[in-house]
Structure formats: C-alpha cells, structure tokens
A and B are shown apart, each in its own frame.
Chain A
Amino acid sequence: QSALTQPASVSGSPGQSITISCTGTSSDVGSYNLVSWYQQHPGKAPKLMIYEGSKRPSGVSNRFSGSKSGNTASLTISGLQAEDEADYYCCSYAGSSTLFGGGTKLTVL
C-alpha cells in the first residue's frame, strides 16, 4: 500500500497552464480507469475535480482536465486563476484498497 507519487509543488502565472503528474504501478493506476483528483483549500474538505481519469463532475470548470498513460495519470489546469491555488491529490483504486498521492501544492504566482 505505497502512496502514489506526485511532485511536491508546482507553480504558474495567471493564464498559464500547468500539469500535475501522479505515478503509480501496474497494480493501481495502470490497471484501473478509476483515478480521481481532488482540490483542497486550507481547512476545507477535499473537492472532487476529476473522476474515472478524465470526467468532470457537474459544476467543475472545464479548465480542469485529466488523462492517463500507462501507470501515470495527469491533471492539467489551463488558464490558471488565483483561486486555483490549493493542494491537489490524486487517488486510485488498487484492488482491495485505495491509494492517495502525497499531494501537490499549486502556487499561482
């Protein structure tokens, strides 16, 4: 039950695009199309941004998109806005368990 690997931090200027990677193994990310991404602001509960790898829940901006290649999933945020500054976590089904990434702090410069 090892955590998925995410970069500790990423940054970008308003209007730019950034991508956060999430690397797992053939036993989790690579085996199932069940990867989700969450946004978390300080002191708040996580918010679902992407599910099943690339689907957006109702109400989530289309500036957020997800993809997967092999054992790595990615979250791309285009047209960065100040309100996007937050922690982002990936999550994958792994058979009889669920794994989270260590989290990535996004700073909007």
Chain B
Amino acid sequence: EVQLVESGGGLIQPGGSLRLSCAASGFTVSSNYMTWVRQAPGKGLEWVSVIYSGGSTYYADSVKGRFTISRDNSKNTLYLQMNSLRAEDTAVYYCARGIIPDSYWGQGTLVTVSS
C-alpha cells in the first residue's frame, strides 16, 4: 500500500529553520517526481517545490533561496529544509507523489512561524 507520512512541523520563530520529512512506503521515492505543496490557514493550495527522479530541483519564487528539497534514497524519504522562515510561510505542508500530484498525498504537517 502506498503511503506518505510527513513529520517535523511545529512552532518556530521568524528567521528560524525547520526540516520537514516525508517517509514513503509502497513505492520508491528516487524513481518518482516528488512535490511539496502548502496551504496557509483558510487559503488555497500553493506549489512549493519538486524534485525530479533524475535529481533536478525547482522552487516557487516565494521560497527560492530559502528552502531546499532533497531525498534520502536509503530511507526512502523526502525532505524540505526551510531556512529564514517568515510569518507568511505558516501553512500545512503536504508531500505528494508526481510532478503534478497524483492520488498519493501525505496527511500534512503544520508549520507555524510566530514569535
């Protein structure tokens, strides 16, 4: 069974750093495109980043230079390193399989940036 489980969210002060994890089972992360999507409270979905199976990475302008997507093939896990966090980064962060997310999404992890 395909499953994605995010972790690592929490309350963080502005300017701080946080690393989100997305543990996958039922398929191989490194063989797929993997995407991070976020949703601010009461707002719509926003694409954040993608990592291609070949390793190329792309970012939304809003996070470029601050966030880094990566994966650990041995752990079959996707990551999102988030630095220089701002209040506007407050959101539920979802990992999903696919360059356009397919049927497999995680349950989401809440990141709150506040002093």
Contacts and interface: CB of A to CB of B under 8 A. Distances in A.
Given A45-B107, A97-B58, A98-B50, A103 B44 contact: yes
Contacts of A1: 60-61
Nearest to B6: A45
B106 to A, nearest CB: 7
B47 A99 contact: yes
* Size range of the chain A interface in the assembly: 20 to 34
Contacts of A47: 103
B35 A89 contact: no
B97 to A, nearest CB: 10
Contacts of B47: 91, 97-100
A93 B107 contact: no
A102 interface: yes
A36 B44 CA distance: 15
B58 A45 contact: no
Interface of B: 35, 37, 44-47, 50, 58, 60-61, 94, 99-103, 105-108
